[in-house]
Chains A and B, each alone.
Chain A
Amino acid sequence: MEYTITPPKGLLAVNLSELWRFRDLFLMLAWRDISVRYKQTVLGVAWALLQPVATMLIFTFVFNRMANIQSGDGTPYPLFFYTGMIIWQYYSSTLGNAGNSMVSNASLIQKVYFPRLIIPATAATTGLVDLAISSVLLVGLMFWYGVVPHLVGLLLLPVLLAITMLAALGVGLFLAALNIKYRDVRHALPFFIQILMYVTPVIYPARMLDHYPVVKGLMLWLNPIAAVITNARAGLLGQADFDFPALGIAAVMSLAMFIAGLYYFRNTERYFADIA
């Protein structure tokens, strides 16, 4: 095995064969994050169930009962909200964890070499466990309300998940690189995520924005997760009023965000050890 170390030049491509060689490390780091997460909490897995249920109850009370927001298509609001929320939870936690991952693993970055991409990529896998747990509850809720999913909706699920992952990692990679360079990103991040939630149809249906075409258009183009949530509801909650054009745009945009984030990350990562 022979290789050379030279100053980096120009845009750096992603070295796939190298990533493959480090797959063991990726799996170990993902496993570390997951097991530490459930070891540190007293309630462990119960916490992963308790949190979404409590959120669902509170949000249903505040936005449905008090503010009178409806699902708009006859779907029970708790179910409507819960479906959007677990997707949003996965998206925002992946984005946030990826964004903070380089800083929280700074000691590793300064001492060992491995493809830096592994660190933010790990963040996308750890969220999957929470998503799986809260999905079990979703199935339970669907039984409770007697809702039958649409077949197309079920087939669409992997696509929706892929779009969510790509978009979350795209923004996450960008934020991770930015976070190393500028430390105030870390403080702005929670605020950014909170704002992002209100411009995502989690507590309200996207249809409510029909009277605001500019806002809806911006959301459609800049926030791929909006189309994901709308179509997940359509497919899973049986209304089948899919918005395929929006989903197409979301797919293209999430891919574009991922590639942009990836390249920004790749071209900043070489200096991480110097400034972290």
Chain B
Amino acid sequence: MTTPIIEIEHLSKCYQIGAHKEPYLSLRDEMVKTGRRISKALSRRVTRSPRQENATDTDFWALKDVSFSVQQGEAIGIIGRNGAGKSTLLKILSQITPPTAGKITMRGRVASLLEVGTGFHPELTGRENIFLNGAILGMRQKEIRRKFDEIVAFSEVGKFIDTPVKRYSSGMYVRLAFAVAAHLEPEILVVDEVLAVGDIQFQRKCLGKMGEVARGGRTVLFVSHNMSAMSELCQKAVLLNAGRVDMMGKMDDVVNKYSMHTAAVSSVDLSTVEHARRPQRYGVLTHFSVYDKAAAPTTSFLMGQPIMARIGVRIHRKMPNAEVAFKISSRLGSAIHYFCSTWEGLRRDLNPGEYLFEIRVPKVMLLPGKYMLGVWLAQERSRTMTDDYVPDVSVIEVIGNDFNGNAADFAGNSISGCEVYAPSAWKIIQEGEA
């Protein structure tokens, strides 16, 4: 074995959570706190009471003793649930945030792509933004000038190159942004979930370009929730779980192990589920359970039969326009169905207290196979900033069932990637002897 191009040794990252409820401090609060501390210190001197530790300060280890190394030319996928430490790892590798302990040795020029179009300015033209974004991603002016025509061709924005990007359609914007990124030529490329944007055709083009990069002897580290894209691109994967390396090995093996992480349970106490959840402004998810039509707890469902779920929520601050949602995604993590309370007209401002929501989906129209269930609590207009979100609360299995009386062979299809069944009408409208 040769010297690895990336060597990660005992890497840890600690965040202090709960130290202050607001994400950032105000100078005023700090002064008040200092004042209190002084008065406390004085009173302690008077009463001689022992020093009290600040109990609200809790350390959260986003990464704990992570070690692995990557050889030159390898394409490695990093897999894990939300909060497993994937993004933190990429941020440390990209030098955006420093580690708390440990060491990384990099033997090559790194370019990281944690977002497409970082620093794009709406007032500037496509041409100007190519130069700006290229510089931000670490390209030299000369390099950008040399690749300029290629970038424009790849982006397909054509004659709009001298139009301010604020007039671009979102598709054009993303294509241009990705075109710049795709022409980076680092020795090590670090990519985070950027393929989730743009249309399918362009996504394929980008995947192809990234595959080229990986085959061209460059090293790629790739995080995505789109595991089919990842398994197409990477031969090896690292599985992170609660900040630790659970497994490193061949992509297929790691994906298998990952899907086994989520247990098929019909009832989950969410207050104990270990998740790095976002700071919750209004409330938390407390409970989740699934039932069949007879209200019996189960995790297997016959095709065409109803599925019922109950979601418990505890609200600690009045929450306007609350939305509770239930999500079904594929075994590889791509979303298939969202069922949102607000879509069905259940709009409520929730006062502090405990709530139990019940949802009934009249027919499971999924082809036989295993599916992941998720739940979230959000405000209707800000779904991207969920208040609480557990993407993989449980796994269910859908079992083939002759629900329409056609003796259909549904079972074979989920393997080839099809997941949703929808009824269709068929007839032969032309027929003749050969």
Answer whether A2 and B105 are a contact pair too, CB < 8 Å, given A36-B123, A108-B118, A112-B112.
yes
Kindly list chain B residues whose C-beta atoms are within 8 Å of the C-beta of A114. Answer: 136, 138
**Chain A residue, CB-CB nearest to B116:** A111
Contact of B99 among A7, A111, A178, A182 (CB under 8 A): A7
Question: Contact between B97 and A273 (Cβ–Cβ < 8 Å)?
Answer: yes
Answer whether A4 and B106 are a contact pair too, CB < 8 Å, given A112-B114, A184-B26.
yes
**Considering the chains assembled together, what is the distance between the CA atoms of A3 and B93 in angstroms?**
11
Kindly list chain A residues whose C-beta atoms are within 8 Å of the C-beta of B135. Answer: 24-25, 27-29
**Considering the chains assembled together, what is the distance between the CA atoms of A28 and B144 in angstroms?**
12
Q: Chain A: interface residue count, which band?
A: 35 or more
Interface residues as binary, B78-112 with A (CB distance below 8 Å gives 1, 0 otherwise):
00000000000001111111111111111111001
Tell me if B141 counts as interface (CB < 8 A to partner A).
yes
Answer whether A112 and B27 are a contact pair too, CB < 8 Å, given A7-B99, A35-B124.
no
Tell me if A110 counts as interface (CB < 8 A to partner B).
yes
Tell me if A8 counts as interface (CB < 8 A to partner B).
yes
Question: Contact between A39 and B107 (Cβ–Cβ < 8 Å)?
Answer: no
Answer whether A274 and B99 are a contact pair too, CB < 8 Å, given A5-B106, A111-B114, A183-B24.
no
Interface residues as binary, A246-270 with B (CB distance below 8 Å gives 1, 0 otherwise):
0000000000000000000000001
**Considering the chains assembled together, what is the distance between the CA atoms of A24 and B141 in angstroms?**
7
Tell me if B128 counts as interface (CB < 8 A to partner A).
yes
Kindly list chain A residues whose C-beta atoms are within 8 Å of the C-beta of B106. Answer: 2-5
**Considering the chains assembled together, what is the distance between the CA atoms of A36 and B166 in angstroms?**
13
Tell me if A32 counts as interface (CB < 8 A to partner B).
yes
Question: Contact between A113 and B112 (Cβ–Cβ < 8 Å)?
Answer: yes
Tell me if A40 counts as interface (CB < 8 A to partner B).
yes
Q: Closest approach, in angstroms, between the C-beta of A269 and any C-beta of chain B?
A: 10
Q: Considering residues A28, A108, A270, which has the most beta carbons from chain B within 10 angstroms of its beta carbon?
A: A28
**Chain B residue, CB-CB nearest to A274:** B97
Tell me if B159 counts as interface (CB < 8 A to partner A).
no
Q: Closest approach, in angstroms, between the C-beta of B93 and any C-beta of chain A?
A: 7
Kindly list chain B residues whose C-beta atoms are within 8 Å of the C-beta of A3. Answer: 105-106
Question: Contact between B137 and A112 (Cβ–Cβ < 8 Å)?
Answer: yes
Answer whether A112 and B136 are a contact pair too, CB < 8 Å, given A2-B107, A273-B96.
yes
Interface residues as binary, B24-42 with A (CB distance below 8 Å gives 1, 0 otherwise):
1111101000000000000
Q: Which B residues form the contact surface with A (CB < 8 A)?
A: 15, 23-28, 30, 91-109, 112, 114-115, 118-119, 121, 123-124, 128, 131-132, 135-138, 140-141
Question: Which 6 pairs of residues, A with B, have the shortest CB-CB distance?
Answer: A113-B95, A28-B135, A182-B27, A5-B104, A184-B26, A111-B118
Q: Which A residues form the contact surface with B (CB < 8 A)?
A: 1-8, 24-25, 27-29, 32, 35-36, 39-40, 107-114, 178, 180-185, 188, 270-271, 273-275
In the complex, 25 of the A-B residue pairs with CB atoms within 8 angstroms, ordered by the A residue number, are A3-B106, A4-B103, A5-B99, A6-B98, A6-B99, A6-B102, A7-B98, A25-B135, A28-B131, A28-B136, A32-B128, A32-B132, A36-B123, A39-B124, A108-B118, A109-B96, A111-B115, A112-B114, A114-B138, A178-B27, A181-B24, A184-B27, A270-B97, A273-B96, A273-B97
Q: Assuming A2-B105, A39-B124, A109-B96, what are 20 further A-B pairs, CB within 8 angstroms? A: A1-B108, A1-B109, A5-B95, A6-B103, A7-B101, A24-B135, A27-B135, A28-B131, A28-B136, A32-B124, A32-B128, A35-B124, A39-B123, A107-B118, A111-B114, A112-B137, A114-B138, A182-B26, A270-B97, A273-B97
